[in-house]
Structure 1
Amino acid sequence: MIWEFNFALFILLIICAIAAITVRDLLSAVVILAAYSLIMTVLWVEMNAVDVGLTEAAIGAGITTVLSIAAVSRTTRRSRD
């Protein structure tokens, strides 16, 4: 497709990855990782790997996010260090 769009998605992907490892709130980290997964879904679909994109959307952004939010809700949200 358009290389500028690909480049913008790649930059957003890097920003999400850095933000996910630097944020101190666990719920925020889960939401950022869900956004990371959705960006990866768009990239897979744009590369004409629709089956991989569908799997990434269903498992990566869907089930994993729901299970992670359920796990975070049973713990404390902020780290102590």
Structure 2
Amino acid sequence: MNAALIAVALVLVAVAGTAVALTGDPGRQAITLSVYGLLLTLLFLVLQAPDVALSQLAVGTALVPLMVMLTVRKIGRRPR
């Protein structure tokens, strides 16, 4: 059961990573990056690494996508 759960989590992380890489729009990429971070958090929990999962939850799921979205918004407002 544990090996199957790890395999499912790895497949989900691989699919989400591919989706992030194939997304062209930076705004949408930030959203898919957030989902990818959440799936990585779940993978780390399945692998019994709660400290790494908590760090991933804070940084990969919240902070990095937020910084990307703020940067995209700031660049979009720049006069030409």
| Interval containing the TM-score (normalised by the shorter chain) | 0.7 to 0.9
Residue identity over aligned pairs, in percent, reads: 21
Runs of 4+ in structure 1 displaced over 4 angstroms?
none
- Code of the residue aligned with 1:65 in structure 2: it is P
TM superposition score normalised by structure 2: 0.80
Tell me how far 1:74 sits from its aligned partner. Answer: 2.0
TM superposition score normalised by structure 1: 0.80
For residues 16 and 32 of structure 2, what CA distance do their matches in structure 1 show?
A: 6
Q: Which residue of 2 is the match for residue 35 of structure 1?
A: 35
How many residues are aligned here? 76
Tell me how far 1:9 sits from its aligned partner. Answer: 1.9
Q: Pick the structure with greater CA Rg.
A: 2
Q: Which residue of 2 is the match for residue 53 of structure 1?
A: 53
Segments of structure 1 that go 5 or more residues without pairing to the other structure are 77-81
